A and B are shown apart, each in its own frame.
Chain A
Amino acid sequence: MSVKEEPSGLFDNEDSEAGGESPEGDTTGAEVMAAEESLLKKFEISVSEAEKRTGKNAMNMQETYTAYLIETRLLDAHNEGHSSLDCLWRRYSEFELLRNYLSVTYPFVVAPPLPEKRAEFVWHKLSADNMDPDFVERRRIGLENFLLRVASHPVLCHDKVFSSFLSQENGWKEALNETGLQLKTDSRLKSLNATFRVKNPDKRFTELKHYSDELQSVISHLLRVRARVADRLYGVYKVHGNYGRVFSEWSAIEKEMGDGLQSAGHHMDVYAASIDDILEEEEHYADQLKEYLFYSEALRSVCRKHELMQYDLEMSALDLVSKKQQCEELATGTVRTFSLKGMTSKLFGQETPEQREAKMKMLEEQIEEGEEQLKVQNEESRDFVQNAWLEIERFKDQKNRDLKEALINYAVMQISMCKKGIQVWTNAKECFSKM
């Protein structure tokens, strides 16, 4: 399959430019990290443009989608006298593929989320159309933020597939396939959805999973209510706009009061119009919250992966124990527990010593193998827990920093709204006082 042509290249993602808002226009979180981490020191990454395109998908059906222009600039390029700028177009589904790859390849990483596929938590003034310019713009910001998050991540930033995502418009998909992503995705991710019964769950991960569930529910609740709050606030402001008209009409029949009424009406118009900007700005706050709504899913995914790993480990250990038991049974000739093997040997007589020898030998080999595997798994698990815990600590810091920042921004927005309100009403009062 061709990677070159944009439209059909990555058809296996159901997306054809769905969604609307993107989380987080704010890059401060990523910027702070950039100071610590490598890639962003050398590069400047931006998603600078969005373009509507039409093409054929894998089913040879016409589809419309949006492509985004990624610009990567080498920061010390000016020394060499020529600009080293990589420009290439990617579509949302390719971003999705990249994220899947990262999430599978680095299971312990709380993978940065993509902007939402479809507009959620919208209030009535916002259009839910995926092609709406405002949403494309919001998604553009969200995608840029995603790239910055990856680029500033201590582990993800070194990834080769990520680099080629930024630099090779063609051939990137092949590079991706070489990593065996498909295989991994198929074998492991699918089973993720199964319910595992882990005997000795790691309490820390259980708690973390619980936390991410609660976080997800509380943020989505918050976003739902905020959308309704925005709706109502919009109503309050817009209805005031009617005063503008009626004051103006009324002023026509008044003598002394006329001028004051007329100009007060003007201020009411201003008041009603001011809500548009206020709520548009607030939408960025909602996007910031949305990013963490999706982050909570990523957090849960790390927990699930840990669960899966623990489950595998426990299964291997169990298997080893039963093999050891079999081996012991063969060696001593005793059957400790009721088993099919015990039954058959009782019913059909004892095996020949040779057979027993061979069996025992095979079992011992398997035990050795199993022990080796268990050791590896244990190490893997230890590494995973260690890495994941580092990552989670990093994530928590990032989250606290980002959300505090978001809350401050929100408070600042509210302050500015209050100041605007005071200003308008003071002006109106001035007019009324002259009546």
Chain B
Amino acid sequence: MSGSSTPKSLPSSGQKSLHDIKHPLSCSPGADEECDGLVVSDTPSPELLHTEPSSLGDKDLSLPNGTPADTSSPASSSSLLNRLQLDDDMDGETRDLFVTVDDPKKHVCTMETYITYRVMTKTTRSEFDLPEYSIRRRYQDFDWLRNKLEETQPTHFIPPLPEKFVVKGVVDRFSEEFVETRRRALDKFLKRIADHPVLSFNEHFNVFLTSKDLNSHKKQGATLLSKMGESVRYVTSGYKLRNRPLEFSAVTEYLDTFALKLGTIDRIAQRIIKEEVEYLVELREYGPVHSTWSALEGELREPLEGVSACVGNCSTALEELTEDMTEDFLPVLREYILYSESMKSVLKKRDQVQAEYEAKLEAAALKREEKTGVPTEVEKCQDKVECFNADLKADMERWQNNKRQDFRQLLMGMADKNIQYYEKCLTAWESIIPLLQDKPEPK
């Protein structure tokens, strides 16, 4: 029966699509690539095959797949807004919402120890009752916000949070460096949302920034979350898309390669830091050896002490370089790796929405032969897909622009740091030349 009712292009062999669906936060680019191909282009879902015949009889069966339906109208309006505001946003002058994360504090309770951060908001937007807010949030709260945004804005790229789990023993979660790195990442996360023409108007974001009692809001959302989870799962059935827009395939492909390359750069950068730290260890011994020697000498004392001091200065410069690279360079790479992973999962959702639409269109076409009239359900679905596409295109454009600026800044920063390092060493070495030449041959 399935053979007659499903599109001819679908072989009924694939059985693994469900297992292959990755968790949206999964971050293995290689596996995702594979999975993407299987789910979207090759393998039909058995579930889809089985449910479709019944959908012929019951138009409303697709209602549980209502995730996009909830957002279809806000999404379409927002995508318009998005496009209108994009240009304004680029010059940065129309920004009316400023958020900063600072002042981390450690809280020690009987049950747990955690860090809170101060989140300060300044705004002229009418959605906010006050022009300024200052509240404290912990990582969990940020996590809640991100989940809410993912639920309520499924058609947008949500910026990533810093990784939640850190391998125990490698990093002290309460160390100053760790907290500072995390603070910066959280700050970046909120700033990206605040600058986003759609996300920044999200009610949960508003609550996050302003509410004194976030926990009550969290409880409210709990039931909704489980419902969402279900519906999302329902939609994730694989299906070969008829007309998957080329640009989205290209974006997925792009993101795979992008994440892969960034992963490589991340490894290289870490390796360089490691080599530099080891180099630093040796320099720390190298300088003092010259001092030891200078103690034996008369005429050579000053030159040797000069070299010793010089090596010391170079070590300090090197230490600064490695610290800067660790604090400024690596986190940005990580953010973008996570960003691209979360973007890929949104793209997958888009494919699912399109799959749903195509399935319904197909079904409707069969039906039309018997009855007449275009089902509104199908039109709704088409709207959904189009809104999704529009939102993603706008977001992608934004993201590309941000990325380009961020990486230009990041890489120029890396070059600058290295130039500064060499300049410091240069100054140090140049300053000892006169010392070495100072005493001419007493001949």
Q: Which residues of A contact B (CB under 8 A)?
A: 32, 211, 214-215, 218-219, 221-222, 225-226, 228-229, 231-233, 235-236, 239-240, 242-243, 246, 249-250, 253, 256-257, 260, 264, 399-401, 403-404, 407-408, 410-412, 414-415, 418-419, 421-422, 425-426, 428-429, 432-433, 435
Contacts and interface: CB of A to CB of B under 8 A. Distances in A.
B436 A411 contact: yes
A432 B282 contact: no
A400 B254 CA distance: 63
B264 A232 contact: no
B268 interface: yes
B81 interface: no
A351 B307 CA distance: 77
B426 A418 contact: yes
Consensus secondary structure, chain B interface: helix
Contacts of B264: 242, 246
Interface string B224-263: 0000000000000000000000000000001001100100
26 contacts: A222-B286, A222-B289, A225-B282, A225-B285, A232-B275, A236-B275, A239-B271, A242-B268, A243-B268, A250-B258, A253-B261, A407-B307, A407-B436, A408-B436, A408-B437, A411-B307, A411-B432, A411-B433, A412-B433, A418-B423, A421-B421, A425-B415, A425-B422, A426-B415, A429-B412, A432-B412
Given A229-B279, A433-B412, A236 B272 contact: yes
A431 B293 CA distance: 45
B325 to A, nearest CB: 12
Contacts of B430: 415
A98 B292 CA distance: 35
A239 B279 CA distance: 13
B407 A425 contact: no
Contacts of A257: 404, 407-408
A221 B429 contact: no
B429 to A, nearest CB: 4
B276 A219 contact: no
A411 B261 CA distance: 38
Consensus secondary structure, chain A interface: helix
Nearest to A218: B293
A232 B436 contact: no
Contact of B411 (A232, A246, A264, A412): A264
A53 B407 CA distance: 59
Nearest to B278: A232
Nearest to A245: B264
A32 B441 CA distance: 11
Given A239-B271, A246-B261, A414 B425 contact: yes
Interface in B374-417: 404, 407-408, 411-412, 415-416
Contacts of B300: 399-400, 403-404
Nearest to A408: B436
Contact of B408 (A211, A219, A221, A435): A435
A60 to B, nearest CB: 47
B254 A246 contact: no
Contacts of A222: 286, 289-290, 293
Contacts of B303: 403-404, 407
Interface residues of B, number: 52
A222 B423 CA distance: 25
Contacts of A231: 282
B17 to A, nearest CB: 28
A435 B419 contact: no
Interface string B283-302: 10110011011001111100
Contacts of B298: 400
Contact of B429 (A225, A264, A411, A425): A411
A235 B436 contact: no
B426 A422 contact: yes
A-B pairs with the 3 shortest C-beta distances? A429-B415, A232-B279, A418-B426
B296 A215 contact: yes
Contacts of A246: 261, 264-265, 268
B404 A225 contact: no
A29 to B, nearest CB: 11
B344 to A, nearest CB: 15
B40 interface: no
B181 to A, nearest CB: 22
B357 to A, nearest CB: 29
B435 to A, nearest CB: 9
B304 interface: yes
B202 interface: no
Contacts of B257: 250, 253
A254 B381 CA distance: 33
A411 B436 CA distance: 9
A435 B410 CA distance: 11
Nearest to A36: B443
Given A32-B441, A425-B422, A429-B416, 13 more contacts: A214-B296, A218-B289, A219-B293, A229-B286, A233-B279, A236-B275, A239-B271, A240-B268, A257-B404, A257-B408, A407-B307, A415-B430, A428-B411
Contacts of A404: 299-300, 303, 436
A408 B412 contact: no
A209 to B, nearest CB: 13
Contacts of B268: 239-240, 242-243, 246
Nearest to B416: A429
Contacts of B265: 243, 246, 250
A403, A411, A429: which has the most chain B beta carbons within 10 Å?
A: A411
A193 B416 CA distance: 59
A222 B289 CA distance: 6
B282 A250 contact: no
Contact of B415 (A221, A233, A432): A432
B270 to A, nearest CB: 10
Nearest to A256: B404
A432 B422 contact: no
Interface string B328-356: 00000000000000000000000000000
B418 interface: yes
B436 A253 contact: no
Nearest to A434: B408
B257 to A, nearest CB: 5
Nearest to A405: B436
A218 B292 contact: yes
Contacts of B275: 232, 235-236, 239
B271, B429, B437: which has the most chain A beta carbons within 10 Å?
A: B429
B441 A401 contact: yes
A283 B412 CA distance: 33
A8 to B, nearest CB: 44
A239 B286 CA distance: 22
A410 B289 CA distance: 15
Given A232-B279, A233-B279, A411-B429, A435 B296 contact: no
A211, A233, A422: which has the most chain B beta carbons within 10 Å?
A: A422
B291 to A, nearest CB: 10
Contacts of B416: 425, 429
